[in-house]
Structure 1
Amino acid sequence: MTAPVKESIDMNAIDKVDIRVGTIKLVEDVKKSNKLVKLTVDFGEFTRTILVGMKGERENPKEIEGQQALFIVNLAPKKMAGEISEGMLFDIGYADGIIPVLAQPEKPVPNGTRVG
């Protein structure tokens, strides 16, 4: 069953969100959490640490190392389980109760490429 479409927003709201392609260089366990892993993501001119709740969703979270995905890079840093997250991974499926997959470009693009 498909979820209802969220309420309408204007383009100004979309323009505030900075979504970029990054390559996941490293996936590390967050010892103080039974959900979180720590991603080190290369965005070309900068690197970010992004925490993701994918423990238990994948048998081996390290399988996404080396893959490109979409991330929000302008979220305020947030402390979780003693670590700081500097963005958010886009994945597909979690909100609909299926095992999430990465939102990815169809072919490799330069790290830091913006969506839109």
Structure 2
Amino acid sequence: MKPAPIKDLITFDDFEKLDIRVGTITALADVEKSRKLMKLTVDFGDHVRTILAGIKQERADPFEIEGKQALFVVNLPEQKMAGEISQGMLFDIGYADKLTPCLAVPETSIPNGSRAG
């Protein structure tokens, strides 16, 4: 793999606008109207959200991520996709570089809702 060029510089203030948190994926469900999307139920400690992720064709068994902690962007506007509402975005590594994606996960178990940054 040849690394992609680094994107344009942003300010630290721009970076601080992102709210990236740890959540535990407690359940997955198929999104019937989509060939790519899976519906993740994610526990953030003080609340639970539904997050849609295009992982259906990326993994032999998308359900293997159930029970795992991962990083999510939680301050994006809700987005309707394939008739479902997504309340955030899963941080996935590799997809943009045409690699088999993997989760961005904490090194050790950490309380749900913990912030990255």
TM over 0.5: yes
Q: Percent identity?
A: 62
Q: What are the ranges of 5 or more consecutive residues in structure 1 without an aligned counterpart?
A: none
**Does the alignment pair 1:77 with 2:78?**
yes
Name the TM-score, length of structure 2 as normaliser. 0.98
Name the structure 2 match of 1:97.
98
User: Alpha-carbon deviations, 1:23-43, whole Å to 9, x = none?
Assistant: 000010000000000000000
Per-residue Cα deviation, 1:30-64 (whole angstroms, up to 9, x for no partner)? 00000000000000001110000011111111100
Shift of 1:89: 0.3
User: 1:4, 1:75 → 2: CA distance?
Assistant: 25
Alignment correspondent of 1:68? 69
TM-score for both structures, normalised by structure 1: 0.99
2:14 is aligned with 1:13: yes
- The offset of 1:111, in angstroms, is 0.2
Distance 1:4 1:58 in 2: 26
Q: Which runs of 5+ in 2 are unaligned?
A: none
State how far apart, in whole Å, the 1-side matches of 2:115 and 2:64 are.
24
- 2:39 corresponds in structure 1 to 38
Q: Distance in 2 between matches of 1:9 and 1:59?
A: 36
CA distance in 2, matches of 1:73, 1:46: 11
SS of equivalent residue, structure 2 residue 27: strand
Q: Secondary structure at the match of 1:62?
A: helix
Alpha-carbon RMSD across the aligned residues, in angstroms, is 0.4
**Number of matched residues?**
116
CA–CA separation in structure 1 for the residues paired with 2:60 and 2:99: 15
User: Offset of 1:17 from its aligned partner?
Assistant: 0.6
What amino acid is aligned across from residue 75 of structure 1 in structure 2?
Answer: L
Which runs of at least 4 in structure 1 moved beyond 4 Å after TM superposition?
none
